Amino acid sequence: MDAALTGIAFVLSAEMLLLIFLATIAGVLVGALPGLGSIMMIVLLLPYIIVMEPTAGIVLTAVIYCAATFGGSITSILINTPGTPAAAATTFEGYPMAQRGEAGRALGMAAFSSSVGGIFSVLVLIVAAPLLARVAYHFGPPEYFALALFGLSMLASLGNTSTLKNYIGGAFGILLSTVGVDFATGVERFTFGSPALAEGIHFIPLMIGLFAGSELLMQAAASDAVPRLVSKVAVRLPSLADLRKVRGTIARSSLLGTFVGILPAEGGTVAALMAYNEAKRWSKTPEAFGKGAIEGIAAPESANNAATGGAMVPTLALGIPGSATTAVILGAMIMLGVRPGPALFQQQPDFLYAIFGGMLLANLVFLFVGLYGAKLFAHISLVPKQFLWGTVFLLAFIGTYAINNSLFDVWMMVAFSVVGFVMRRRGYSAAPVVMGLILGELVEISLTQSMLMFQQDVSGFFTRPIALLFFALALLGVAYPYIKSALQRRR
């Protein structure tokens, strides 16, 4: 109890309150810029963080992580461009709502569900962090392989295209994940002699191209379309009826996001896509998805923000990054002389409670910013397309180049812009491609490691209860669309 009071008192000091408020605002703004995000902001701040007091420095990184995850939803909703990869699923319903003049309602729902999901995950950490860390520690390669297959099984109902097109898109994403040097053999695959492809296809250029670039081309193809709705509708915030409608979705997605975030190497992107799929599955009106269903915003936003808290569990308790951003945070901790691991919970509990308190405050601050700033953000959707999309594509170019200072990444972004445009014109969704790319590498690596563990004996998977559970869920996920269709025909 003394450690908790010490940590909370540190966070509530005047200097830390001001630092948390400014870091939250900055995190939201950076998260909204396509191609940037929490990783780049933390990396840019590392020279300043390492000269700060260790607790203050790590609290700052955790606050930016939470705020930037929410910030990605702003451009996802307004211009169909995920500010962060974790906000990709928010585009599926958020942008259609903005197109019909409900940008404020969508942004308000994103802020509310993000805050609830983030607060829920932090509360779970405070109560059960050691137990959750032990559960994640028992996940080996067989469990990760089964989990990845379960994620791929969701391709059947992801997006609004046919099941076959979803699987084709997912297979294309898995194929993209094989580009580069094979980690097991060291053999180059599909690099065509290009050193830039040796490390594989980078996620950010692909995301910006498939979403922002393809949308720009779609807008150019429909340049003579009638302008969107008036601002009176655009700035309307969510109603109490909206909040009641999504309470079950938020609760379910927060649980899922926290659990997925705890698993090392997973994170908010996978959690958001899974939560979106489950929201569609549980919805009483699944046919509304893809047209601006408000549950489709609440689910991914509560899940990806819940994953931020979950990802801190293996980072703090085991020294294993739960996501790409926590890998940077882990590096900052080591530079500051803080050694993460099980002993951290016993030797420096006040340090942990300061981090938890900072994350709680960040979620409350961006809830305020999101709700009261939603009307201001919503007006972006009223800017003439000629100005808006020129600016967006310029930011996309800058953001893509800034990742690795590579013009090759910029050309990759342009190429995937064309690919995304052709896919959308042919009725394919970008979501299965993203899911395949994210999970493809995990499937390959975990399967290789599992077969080495089992000495090439496949029956070894049947000795792992958790893996068997995920295999069963994967089979159910593949069969679900057909079972649902059969039941509808019977009715």
3-state secondary structure of 86: helix
Per-residue pLDDT, 254 = 92
Calculate what percentage of the chain has a pLDDT beyond 70.
83
Residue 150 has pLDDT above 50, yes or no: yes
pLDDT tens-digit profile of 416-449? 989 989 988 888 877 788 778 877 887 888 898 8
Place of tokens 């969510």: 238
Highest mean pLDDT among 85-89, 121-125, 245-249: 245-249
Residue 230 has pLDDT above 60, yes or no: no
Handedness of CA 282, 367, 203, 303 (dihedral sign): negative
Place of tokens 């936003």: 301
Against a cut of 0.75, is the pTM above it?
no
Pairing of strands 180-181, 188-189: antiparallel
Confidence band of 226 (pLDDT split at 50, 70, 90): very low
Place of tokens 């593949």: 478
Per-residue pLDDT, averaged over 298-318, amounts to: 84
Residue 378 has pLDDT above 90, yes or no: no
DSSP secondary structure letter of residue 188? E
Per-residue pLDDT, averaged over 90-97, amounts to: 87
Nearest to 272 by CA among 288, 256, 283: 256
Per-residue pLDDT, averaged over 38-62, amounts to: 82
Q: How far apart are CA 201 and CA 203, in angstroms?
A: 6
Domain locations in the chain as residue ranges? 2-490
Per-residue pLDDT, 317 = 73
Per-residue pLDDT, 386 = 67
Q: What is the mean pLDDT of the chain?
A: 79
Confidence band of 320 (pLDDT split at 50, 70, 90): low
Q: How far apart are CA 356 and CA 129, in angstroms?
A: 11
pLDDT tens-digit profile of 180-194? 888 777 788 888 888
Per-residue pLDDT, averaged over 65-72, amounts to: 87
Lowest mean pLDDT segment, chosen from 90-104, 131-145, 398-412: 131-145
CB 431 within 8 A of CB 88: yes
| Structure token pair of residue 52 | 């700060």
Q: Higher pLDDT residue, 468 or 315?
A: 468
Residue 73 has pLDDT above 80, yes or no: yes
Partnered with residue 189 across adjacent β-strands are 180
Per-residue pLDDT, 229 = 38
Confidence band of 283 (pLDDT split at 50, 70, 90): confident
Per-residue pLDDT, averaged over 345-372, amounts to: 82
Q: What H or E segment, with its residue span, contains residue 189?
A: strand 188-189
Q: Higher pLDDT residue, 352 or 59?
A: 59
471 vs 7, 144, 267, 417, 490, CA distance in Å? 42, 11, 21, 35, 28
Calculate what percentage of the chain has a pLDDT beyond 90.
6
CB 7 within 8 A of CB 357: yes
Per-residue pLDDT, 136 = 52
Lowest mean pLDDT segment, chosen from 19-33, 61-75, 137-151, 336-350: 336-350
3-state secondary structure of 18: helix
